């Protein structure tokens, strides 16, 4: 499949990372530049055409002087003299960091630009950014009267807040897992080629840069980029929606970055009660792919670094089911909409998982199984029936693995131990799929069936008994978790799976002797916090509220005050689902292009309530024939491995010009940077600073703690408050649609009000140092570190100390006189022998003097003083012989 020995393939870094939008009466000029602002490109957008998008890319690369001359020429050419008055020429509108795309409703097109970004993660030299603010402007220059529905569609589109958990990267493909990104491309599929070609058939070797083919179902601005087919790929910036978080597990100074990336699918996307089950193509509701990456961040290279990853997913039960919303009640009844005896919906769903991830697919079903009145158990019965039918036509080693755990029932038991049960299931699941590690690993904790499917990864053909054998670890298959909503129970189960996977990842990196982690350790607390933040974010996006039942609830550690919070979150979710879900769903349908407005067509808000169902339930694209062949026939050539990796496609392939271009985005060698402004210092969570208790002598992040540290508790409460305020994707927009130059930047975000044709001015170093560094932060008080504080003694104690010291000094004998007990003036006085200058013990008041100091002792002391003043000298031969005898005494005898 790959030939890395002959050619090296490197993902191409997008050269356009900064932009400035200039306007004239007839055109918009979008000037893009690289991060160092040494090369520039220009995109011309016509403003005369109102109904059609006219965008042209001259594909010319300009330097700084050439772009200045070009902008000056455009400015002069657009000035018109009316008498003695000069009209407007070229004016700058806004600066930006990326192009999100173009959109049209009923009139002309709008352009959407990313004006603020914030760094949230680092993978090697690749940086992940979160969108903080966007700018949207109408392109046509005519001022004719618009359609009356235009403004309502505009407000509906802007209600999808792009500053709410949307992420992008200039050099890393966020739509695919790390295992896919570190594999070499196999097929080249360029637009001008008559058919795709295999890279093994391309003559020549060397270093190549390529543009990967993105996973469409995770590109949320795909509809916004659909009219840019003829534009260079450097202008197109794919955006994902979900959650990204990163923390630093410091193992005695060795940094291991743990990254959580959750990608929400834009297929069959929507709100809780309106997106249940799946459509006929197998796209399920609330489908989120979560990737957990652990890497040794002390080595930033993609080729030399050590990276491990584990991928799992959540998604609704893949069947045609829904809930009756005709009556207002907390738990609307569940019913099966369409009977599917041949598993068409589930077959399409699992076929896609086999193509993307390989086998086995491990299902963890948390839905109730036994109920007095059937409610959730309807889904369990349907799911079990579908899996049993589909497994008939798969080979034994590729069959879908099914685990059922009634989590809610177990949690109600008096001596419930939900997390222990989940940990056992999670351990079995991770052993079946394995993890990905890009380096050979002496790995002895393999499941026997898993080891047999990975024989192609063994570096040695044979080994002696009990000898460690290095493995190239690949994850084959995926763990799929679901409950009814795929929110509370699913998030806790995914944390249990992630905890087991992290133990295997740290073991593969060589920092754990055994792949096992205890719950009350700094590293697991950090992971728990990350999964709870992920759960809150995904719950807000899908259900309208944060998590109701958290991980601590199932561990029986939640305080009694959490009951009130659970009630509030339940009420908030119920309110959101019953009153605002329909409007949010319409907003999402317009944003994703599922519904496209047309003049003469009824607007989306006037459609019937079941119109959304027909938008998302199109007739199936692929009907298997015969029905027993539900999986792709080509899969047999790749299983248990991923067919997507085996047929990895790139859309462009060129000779690599600069192998270090991705590192510039991290190191910023072109400008001065204050140390405290680096992401590793100012933004990322740190196991020592944020999680380790204050009063401890055990600095291992894998040691069990009795209680949480004060800093950790404060951070936990603040992050929880932030997650509660995090808006959902279709909620009211909290981000401004315009950018002003006097607007203050948020912490960690980049300013975007700079002309890309000029170098960005840095803020003064002194201002930044005052922002981050203080005397207290550099030198914490003794009470902060040790729990005690030294205060000045009171005046009475100082007076007693002075009198006693003076009494001791004055009570010593005169030279030549012997000390007797009768001559002691005070019981606390300590006599001084003034001849020798040494204090005499209080209990020895006899006339005896201290023994004289020997010559050997005096020489030792003088040599000690001499070394301190003059430095060390060459040891004597006697000392060398003594040292040799000392060393030989400890040498093993042969």
Reading the block at residue 712, the tokens are 């950790």
pLDDT, residue 457, reads 42
Helix residue ranges, H only, 544-638: 551-554, 562-575, 581-591, 611-616
> Between residues 221 and 443, which one has the greater pLDDT?
221
Its sign, for the CA torsion 553, 554, 557, 560, is positive
In angstroms, the CA 288 to CA 240 distance is: 11
Q: Residue 590 — pLDDT band, cuts 50, 70, 90?
A: very high
Contacts of 17 (CB under 8 A, 6+ apart): 32, 33, 34, 35, 97, 98, 170, 665
Name the phi and psi angles at 461, rounded to 5.
Answer: -75, -25
Its sign, for the CA torsion 490, 496, 499, 503, is negative
Burial (CB < 10 A; 0-12, 13-18, 19+), residue 92, is middle
Could you count the other beta carbons within 10 Å of the beta carbon of residue 279? 22
pLDDT, residue 351, reads 95
Distances (CA, A) of 327 to 7, 323, 333: 63, 10, 10
Furthest-apart CA atoms within the chain: distance in Å? 123
Is 683 a residue whose pLDDT tops 80?
no
3 state DSSP class of 63:
coil
Number of H helices, E strands in the chain: 24, 32
In angstroms, the CA 509 to CA 491 distance is: 26
Q: Tell me what the mean pLDDT of segment 806-820 comes to.
A: 55
Average pLDDT over all residues of the chain: 79
pLDDT, residue 364, reads 96
User: What does the pLDDT look like over 366-375, one tens digit per residue?
Assistant: 998 888 888 8
Which pTM value belongs to this model? 0.78
Question: CA 126, 130, 131: angle at the middle one, nearest 5?
Answer: 130
**CA nearest to 41, candidates 28, 52, 31, 49:** 31
DSSP letter string, 642-673? -HHHHT-EEEEEEE-S-TTHHHHHHH-TTS--
Question: CA 228, 233, 234: angle at the middle one, nearest 5?
Answer: 115
Burial (CB < 10 A; 0-12, 13-18, 19+), residue 59, is exposed
In angstroms, the CA 582 to CA 156 distance is: 12
pLDDT, residue 492, reads 94
Contact 232, 218 (CB under 8 A): no
In angstroms, the CA 547 to CA 239 distance is: 25
Reading the block at residue 359, the tokens are 């086998």
E strands, 684-782, are 685-686, 749-750
Helix residue ranges, H only, 668-781: 679-682, 710-725, 765-772, 775-778
Highest mean pLDDT pick, 125-134, 699-708, 739-748? 125-134
> Between residues 227 and 806, which one has the greater pLDDT?
227
Q: In terms of DSSP bridges, do strands 749-750 and 832-833 run parallel, antiparallel, or are they unpaired?
A: unpaired
- Long-range contacts of residues 816-824, Cβ cutoff 8 Å, at least 24 apart: 818/847, 819/845, 819/846, 819/847, 820/845, 820/847, 821/845
Burial (CB < 10 A; 0-12, 13-18, 19+), residue 78, is middle
Reading the block at residue 655, the tokens are 């000779």
Q: What is the dihedral of CA 799, 803, 804, 808, to 10 degrees?
A: 150
Contacts of 22 (CB under 8 A, 6+ apart): 28, 29, 30, 31, 71, 74, 90, 91, 92, 93
User: What does the pLDDT look like over 49-61, one tens digit per residue?
Assistant: 888 899 998 889 9
Determine what percent of the chain is predicted with pLDDT higher than 70: 75
Name the phi and psi angles at 580, rounded to 5.
Answer: -125, 0
Its sign, for the CA torsion 487, 490, 496, 497, is negative
User: What does the pLDDT look like over 25-80, one tens digit per residue?
Assistant: 889 999 999 888 889 999 999 998 888 899 998 889 999 999 999 998 888 887 75
Q: What is the distance in angstroms between the CA of the first residue and the CA of the last residue of the chain?
A: 53
Highest mean pLDDT pick, 174-183, 409-418, 435-444, 823-832? 174-183
């Amino acid at each position: 499949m790959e030939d890395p020995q002959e050619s090296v393939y490197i993902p191409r870094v997008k050269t356009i990372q900064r932009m400035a939008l200039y306007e004239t009466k007839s055109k918009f000029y979008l000037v893009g530049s690289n991060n160092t602002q040494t090369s520039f490109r220009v995109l011309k957008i016509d403003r005369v055409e109102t109904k059609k998008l006219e965008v042209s890319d001259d594909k010319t690369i300009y330097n700084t002087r050439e772009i200045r001359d070009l902008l000056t020429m455009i400015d002069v050419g657009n000035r018109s003299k009316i008498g003695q008055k000069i009209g407007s020429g070229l004016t700058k509108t806004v600066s930006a960091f990326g192009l999100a795309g173009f959109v049209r409703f009923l009139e002309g097109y709008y352009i959407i630009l990313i004006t603020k970004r914030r760094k949230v993660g680092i993978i090697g030299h690749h940086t992940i950014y979160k969108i903080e603010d966007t700018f949207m402007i109408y392109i046509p220059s005519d001022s004719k009267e618009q359609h009356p529905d235009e403004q309502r569609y505009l407000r509906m589109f802007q209600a999808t807040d792009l500053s709410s958990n949307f992420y992008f990267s200039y050099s890393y493909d966020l739509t695919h897992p790390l295992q896919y990104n570190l594999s070499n491309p196999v097929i080249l599929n360029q637009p001008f080629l008559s058919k795709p070609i295999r890279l093994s058939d391309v003559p020549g070797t060397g270093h190549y840069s390529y543009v990967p083919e993105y996973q469409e179902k995770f590109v949320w601005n795909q509809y916004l980029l659909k009219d840019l087919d003829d534009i260079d790929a450097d202008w197109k910036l794919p955006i994902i929606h979900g959650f990204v978080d990163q923390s630093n597990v410091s193992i005695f100074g060795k940094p291991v970055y743990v990254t959580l990336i959750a990608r929400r699918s834009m297929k069959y996307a929507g709100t809780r009660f309106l997106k249940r089950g799946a459509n006929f193509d197998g796209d399920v509701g609330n489908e989120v792919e979560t990737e957990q990456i652990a890497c040794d961040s002390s080595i930033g290279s993609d080729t030399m670094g050590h990276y491990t990853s584990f991928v799992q997913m959540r998604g609704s039960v893949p069947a045609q089911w829904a809930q009756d919303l005709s009556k207002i009640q907390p738990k609307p009844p569940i019913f099966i909409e369409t009977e599917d005896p041949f598993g068409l919906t589930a077959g399409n769903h699992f076929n896609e998982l086999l193509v993307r991830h390989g086998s086995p697919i491990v299902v963890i079903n948390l839905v109730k199984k036994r109920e007095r009145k059937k409610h959730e158990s309807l889904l369990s019965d349907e799911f079990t029936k579908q899996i049993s039918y589909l497994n008939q036509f798969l080979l034994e080693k590729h069959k879908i693995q099914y685990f059922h755990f009634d989590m809610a029932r177990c949690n109600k038991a008096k001596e419930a131990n939900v997390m222990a049960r989940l940990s056992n299931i999670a351990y079995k699941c991770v052993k079946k799929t394995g993890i990905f590690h890009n380096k050979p690993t002496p790995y002895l904790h393999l499941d026997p069936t898993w080891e047999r499917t990975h024989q192609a990864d063994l570096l040695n053909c044979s080994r002696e008994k009990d000898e460690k054998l290095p493995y190239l670890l690949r994850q084959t298959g995926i763990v799929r978790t679901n409950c009814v909503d795929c929110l509370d129970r699913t998030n806790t189960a995914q944390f249990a799976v992630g905890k087991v996977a992290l133990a295997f990842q740290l073991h593969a990196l060589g920092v754990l002797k055994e792949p096992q982690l205890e719950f009350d350790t700094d590293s697991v607390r950090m992971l728990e916090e990350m999964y709870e933040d992920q759960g809150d974010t995904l719950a807000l996006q899908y259900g309208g509220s944060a998590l109701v039942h958290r991980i601590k609830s199932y561990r029986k550690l939640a305080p009694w005050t959490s009951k009130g919070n659970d009630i509030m979150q339940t009420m908030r979710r119920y309110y959101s689902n019953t009153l605002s879900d329909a409007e949010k769903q319409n907003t999402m349908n317009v944003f994703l292009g599922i519904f496209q407005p047309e003049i003469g067509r009824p607007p989306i808000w006037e459609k019937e309530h079941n119109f959304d169902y027909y938008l998302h339930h199109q007739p199936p694209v692929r009907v298997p024939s015969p029905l027993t062949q539900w999986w792709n026939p080509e899969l047999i050539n790749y299983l248990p491995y991923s067919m997507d990796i085996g047929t990895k496609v790139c859309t462009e392939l060129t000779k690599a010009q600069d192998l270090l271009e991705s590192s510039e985005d991290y190191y910023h060698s072109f400008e001065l940077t204050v140390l405290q402004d680096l992401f590793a210092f100012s933004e990322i969570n740190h196991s020592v600073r944020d999680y380790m208790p204050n009063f401890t002598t055990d600095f291992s992040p894998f040691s069990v703690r009795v209680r949480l540290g004060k800093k950790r508790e404060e951070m936990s409460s603040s992050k929880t408050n932030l997650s509660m305020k995090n808006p959902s994707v279709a909620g009211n927009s909290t981000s401004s649609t315009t950018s002003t130059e006097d607007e203050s930047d948020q912490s960690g975000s980049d300013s975007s009000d700079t002309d890309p044709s000029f170098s960005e001015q840095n803020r003064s170093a002194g201002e930044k140092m005052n922002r981050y560094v203080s005397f207290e932060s550099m030198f914490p008080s003794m009470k902060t570190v040790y729990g005690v504080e030294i205060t000045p003694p009171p005046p009475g104690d100082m007076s007693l100390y002075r009198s006693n010291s003076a009494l001791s000094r004055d009570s010593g004998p005169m030279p030549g006189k012997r000390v007797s007990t009768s001559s002691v003036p005070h019981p606390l006085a300590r006599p001084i022998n003034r001849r020798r200058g040494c204090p005499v013990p209080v209990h020895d008041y006899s006339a005896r003097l201290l023994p004289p100091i020997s010559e050997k002792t005096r020489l030792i002391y003088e040599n000690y003083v001499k070394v301190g003043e003059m430095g060390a000298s060459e040891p004597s031969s006697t000392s060398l012989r003594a040292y040799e005898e000392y060393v030989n005494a400890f040498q093993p005898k042969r």
